[in-house]
């Protein structure tokens, strides 16, 4: 060391390197390892997702498309080509269209009141109140419960002779309603379960967005004499538009896949049937019925793809609306 | 402020100032932030409505079957909770104890795996540079739109072929990591971990794994906690896929076992309620203990979306 310093003091380490070159191959290996680490490890880290995605989402997606063009019975060793026959049959299948109507009907009467109520509650929660954490926790507690539990508890609450809801209605003179028996009453019961579970959650999402609105906007509006209701309609609501659309999209995706609540509401051995006249059978319930009760895999595959397209188109429409609104600003 | 801690009277002064300012604003902006009793009444009513079905479930779990079928319905807990719980756990058709154990195994392993793989991939997407990153991220976003139902048939056939039908693996493996988790962690990592920190660790000779383990993972802890809680709840409550994959009543999840409590010649609703309580109360306890974090997670997630 001292020798190097004496010989080429001005060059320092460079001189040292020149005089006694370090073990080059070793350094190169370490260099190459570092290079491999930096270039390669990102792929290694994202790989688990893509392996799971390819095996359990993408492959089934494509395979379902293939299955939907076959005549295939569960348990049968072979399938025969069917072309588009499954889709053609679906087009003329009144039970399928009933299920589509039920799904969209329940979706509308669960989403619209739910989001309005959530907006209203968020507006209340946004005021200067005591015990805010307490109220917030209490309102999102329903998301802890599973659809299975909700289905069981609510089918008791909505039971014809001994249910709490009919007991309350009796108080105002309404005779016992058989909630499961007609279209509208069963839709209302199922929508109530959905609303109960998600209203508080959506209220919290709206609350989060409301708290990002700068207070001075309200203050100057108040100075200009705008009343609280005017402030809500003219300031709060327009500022919440992106959030509202986000919740609409989430409700769309969840609502069109609705399964657990209606399935457990009509509990019993024919729980996939959705009532004697399929009055509350959703598309997913019909899909499972074709798959397991009637063992028609090809036909069930066609239902699955149509459902997927329905969700895709509805989400795409929502996405275009968002883009439109963002570019407006 | 930076050099010495302000003396007590100064602190009090600032405190008063902070109190006074909104008061002045309040008088200027009229009734903007005034809270009327009506607000509290409405909020309490909403609170009661959201807790009521859970209360009905717990009351039902403490009643006898006859008391449940009574008009007017009873709203006071009865004294048969232990009796009903015994009936639930000794019901040979339902296998509730096995279901509870299975649900704990499934939910815990899925939660650990989702948090681990999501934070790893989220770190890579937020902080590392690699070719095709944006395209891959789009695939992740797209995957969130694919409904479970569409894969049901092939997934089921795949499990039959793998011999995983009626095995917990059929429920665990497809859920090991998901697009939502990766995206959530990516969003959090890109703002919670400064690039300088990663550069500094590299100069210190850390490799990428070391950076993840010692620098990134500790910084991601809050988001990881929220993701973990949500994953656990979601997995515990999942119904559709376990219904298809675990058709053997001997090996159910706790929710599947509930369905068999009500089956049979004699419908014992007290038992059904006790069973639903058994399936719900563990989550309820977790929720109440971690309520603040969950609330924070929902609200933060909403703003990032």
pLDDT band at B22 (very low <50, low <70, confident <90, very high): very low
**Average pLDDT of the segment spanning B153-159:** 88
A245 within some domain = yes
- ipTM, 2 dp: 0.79
Contact A204 B295 (CB under 8 A): yes
- Of A67, A97, A120, the residue at which a domain comes to its end is A67
* pLDDT at residue A26 in the model: 57
pLDDT, tens digit (0-9, with 9 covering 90-100), for B240-262: 899 889 988 888 999 888 877 76
Nearest to B252 by CA among B262, B241, B268: B241
Strand partners, B122: none
Low-confidence ranges of chain A (pLDDT < 50): 1-18, 329
Q: Which residues of chain B are within 8 Å of residue A154 when distances are taken between CB atoms?
A: 53
- What pLDDT is attached to residue B289? 84
Quote the pLDDT of residue B20: 42
**B40's tokens:** 């509290």
Helix axes B96-127, B179-192, angle to 10 degrees: 50
Residue A186 burial by Cβ neighbours in a 10 Å radius (0-12, 13-18, 19+)? buried
Query: Closest partner residue to B152 among A48, A196, A291, by Cβ?
Result: A291
**Cβ distance of B208 and A148 shorter than 8 Å:** no
**What integer best gives the mean pLDDT of chain B?**
81
Same domain for A96 and A63: no
Tokens coding B76: 């006071």
Residue A244 resides in a domain: yes
Q: Evaluate whether residue A132 is within a structural domain.
A: yes
For residue B131, report the phi and psi dihedrals to the nearest 5 degrees. Answer: -70, 140
Domain CATH for A290: 1.10.3720.10
Probe site for chain B from A73, A140, A149 (most B CB atoms < 10 A): A149
A259: nearest CB among B60, B212, B240: B240
What pLDDT sits at residue B303?
65
Asked whether residue A29 falls in the same domain as residue A176, the answer is no
Query: Would A252 be classed as within a structural domain?
Result: yes
Instruction: Choose among A34, A37, A144: nearest Cβ to B283.
Output: A144
Distance CA B170, CA B174 (A): 7
What's phi and psi for A71, nearest 5 deg? -95, 115
As a whole number of Å, the CA-based R_g of chain A is 30
φ and ψ of A80, to 5 deg: -115, 150
Q: Give the per-residue pLDDT at B3.
A: 36
Chain A with chain B: Cβ pairs closer than 8 A = 283
Quick one: which of A95, A53, A103, A105 has its CA closest to A299?
A95
CA Rg, chain B, in Å?
26
Contact list in A for residue B173 (CB cut-off 8 A) is 52, 56
Burial label, A232 (beta-carbon count in 10 A; 0-12, 13-18, 19+): middle
Cα dihedral B257, B259, B260, B266, rounded to 10, equals: 140
Of A137, A153, A312, the CB nearest to B53: A153
User: Domain check: are A60 and A116 in the same one?
Assistant: no
Same domain (yes/no): A320, A175: yes
Does one domain contain both A49 and A149? no
What torsion do the CA atoms of B52, B54, B55, B61 make, to the nearest 10 degrees? 150
pLDDT tens for A34-70 read 888 888 889 999 999 999 999 999 999 898 888 888 8
Residue A322 has what pLDDT?
Answer: 60
**Residue A143 is assigned to a structural domain of this protein:** yes
Enumerate helices (H) and strands (E) in chain B, giving the number of each.
Answer: 17, 0
Please list every residue in chain A whose beta carbon sits closer than 8 Å to the beta carbon of residue B145: 253, 311-312, 315
Distance from CA of B2 to the nearest CA of A (A): 29
Is residue A243 located within the same domain as residue A308?
Answer: yes
C-beta of residue A112 within 8 angstroms of C-beta of residue A170: no
Q: Do A60 and B150 touch (CB under 8 A)?
A: yes
DSSP string, A148-178: HHHHHHHHHHT-TTT-HHHHHHHHTT-----
| A55 and A155, same domain (yes or no) | no
Tell me the pLDDT tens digit for each residue of B172-202: 999 999 998 998 899 888 888 889 989 999 8
Q: For residue A73, tell me if it sits in a domain.
A: no
Helices then strands, each counted (H, E), chain A: 17, 2
Terminal alpha carbon distance of chain A: 68
Query: Do residues A265 and A189 lie in contact, with contact meaning Cβ atoms separated by under 8 Å?
Result: yes
Q: Which of B76-85, B92-101, B261-270 has the lowest mean pLDDT?
A: B261-270
| Residue A108 forms part of a structural domain | yes
- How far is residue B204's CA from residue B73's CA, in Å, rounded to a whole number? 69
By residue range, what is the domain housing residue A254?
88-328
- Structural domain total, chain A: 2
A249 in the same domain as A119: yes
Same domain, yes or no: A206 and A106: yes
Give the mutation candidate from B43, B103, B240 for the A interface (greatest A CB count, under 10 A). B43
Are both A52 and A150 inside the same structural domain? no
Q: Is residue A162 part of a domain?
A: yes
Give B-chain residues touching A133 at CB under 8 angstroms.
291-292, 295
Distance CA B153, CA B160 (A): 11
Residue numbers in A near B56 (CB within 8 A): 153, 156-157, 164
Find the residue in A nearest to B231 (Cα). A144
Tell me how crowded residue A110 is: count the other CB atoms within 10 A of its CB.
Answer: 27
Measured CA to CA, the distance from residue B47 to residue A64 in angstroms comes to 44
CB contact under 8 A, A291 and B295: no
The whole-number pLDDT of residue B100 equals: 92
The vertex-B297 CA angle with B296 and B300, nearest 5°, equals 80
* 3-class secondary structure, B284: helix
Same-domain check for residues A133 and A196: yes
Partners of residue B46 in chain A, C-beta under 8 Å: 121, 139, 200
Q: Give the Å distances, CA to CA, from B114 to B217, B228, B233.
A: 14, 8, 13
Tokens 């395209």 sit on residue: B135
Please tell me which of the candidates A60, A124, A260 has its beta carbon nearest to residue B155: A60
Same domain, A51 and A151: no
Tokens in use for A300? 């069930």
- The phi and psi torsions of A225 (rounded to 5 degrees) equal 90, 15
Tell me phi and psi for residue B236, to 5 degrees: -60, -40
């Amino acid at each position: 060391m001292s020798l190097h310093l004496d010989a080429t003091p001005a060059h320092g380490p460079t001189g040292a390197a020149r005089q006694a070159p370090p073990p080059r191959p070793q350094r190169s290996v370490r260099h190459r390892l570092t290079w491999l680490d930096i270039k390669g490890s990102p792929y290694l880290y994202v790989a688990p997702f893509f392996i799971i995605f390819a095996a359990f989402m993408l492959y089934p997606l494509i395979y379902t498309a293939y299955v939907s063009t076959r005549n295939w019975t569960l348990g049968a060793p072979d399938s025969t080509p069917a072309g588009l026959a499954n889709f053609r049959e679906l087009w003329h299948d009144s039970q399928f269209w009933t299920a589509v109507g039920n799904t969209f009907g329940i979706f509308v009467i669960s989403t619209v009141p739910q989001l309005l109520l959530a907006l209203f509650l968020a507006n209340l929660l946004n005021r200067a109140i005591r015990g805010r954490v307490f109220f917030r926790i209490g309102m999102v507690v329903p998301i802890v419960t599973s659809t299975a539990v909700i289905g069981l508890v609510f089918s008791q609450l909505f039971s014809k002779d001994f249910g709490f809801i009919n007991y309350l209605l009796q108080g105002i003179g309404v005779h016992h309603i058989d909630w499961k028996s007609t279209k509208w009453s069963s839709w209302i019961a199922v929508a109530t379960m959905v609303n109960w579970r998600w209203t508080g959650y959506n209220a919290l999402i709206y609350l989060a967005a409301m708290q990002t609105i700068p207070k001075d906007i309200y203050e100057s509006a108040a100075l200009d004499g705008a009343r609280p209701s005017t402030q809500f309609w003219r300031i709060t609501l327009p500022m919440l538009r992106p959030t509202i659309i986000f919740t609409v999209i989430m409700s769309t995706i969840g609502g069109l896949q609705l399964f657990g609540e209606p399935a457990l509401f009509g509990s019993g051995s024919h729980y996939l049937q959705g009532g004697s006249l399929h009055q509350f059978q959703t598309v997913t319930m019909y899909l499972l019925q074709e798959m397991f009760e009637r063992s028609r895999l090809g036909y069930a595959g066609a239902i699955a793809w149509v459902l997927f397209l329905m969700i895709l188109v509805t989400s795409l429409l929502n996405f275009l609306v968002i883009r439109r609104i963002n570019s407006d600003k | 402020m930076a050099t010495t801690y302000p003396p007590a009277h100064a602190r009090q002064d600032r405190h008063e100032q902070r109190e006074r300012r909104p008061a002045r604003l309040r008088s200027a902006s009229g009734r903007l932030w005034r809270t009327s009793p009506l607000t509290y009444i409405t909020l309490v009513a909403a609170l009661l409505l959201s807790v009521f079905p859970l209360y009905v479930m717990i009351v039902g779990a403490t009643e006898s079957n006859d008391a449940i079928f009574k008009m007017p319905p009873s709203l006071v807990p009865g004294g048969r909770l232990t009796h009903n719980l015994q009936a639930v756990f000794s019901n040979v058709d339902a296998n509730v104890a096995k279901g509870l154990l299975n649900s704990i195994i499934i939910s815990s392993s899925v939660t650990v795996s989702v948090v681990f793989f999501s934070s790893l991939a989220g770190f890579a997407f937020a902080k590392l540079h690699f070719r095709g990153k944006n395209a891959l991220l789009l695939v992740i976003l797209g995957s969130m739109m694919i409904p479970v139902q569409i894969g049901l048939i092939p997934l089921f056939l795949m499990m039959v072929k793998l011999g995983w039908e009626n095995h917990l693996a059929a429920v665990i493996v497809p859920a090991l990591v998901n697009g939502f988790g990766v995206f959530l962690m990516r969003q959090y990592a890109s703002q919670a971990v400064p690039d300088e920190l990663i550069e500094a660790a590299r100069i210190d000779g850390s490799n990428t794994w070391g950076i993840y383990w010692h620098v990134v993972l500790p910084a991601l802890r809050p988001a990881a906690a929220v993701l973990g809680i949500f994953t656990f709840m979601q997995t515990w409550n999942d119904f559709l896929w376990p219904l298809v994959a675990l058709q053997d009543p001997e090996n159910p999840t706790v929710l599947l076992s509930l369905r068999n409590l009500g089956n049979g010649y004699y419908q014992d609703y007290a038992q059904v309620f006790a069973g639903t309580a058994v399936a719900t109360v563990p989550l309820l306890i977790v929720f109440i203990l971690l309520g603040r974090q969950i609330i924070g997670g929902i609200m933060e997630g909403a703003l990032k979306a």
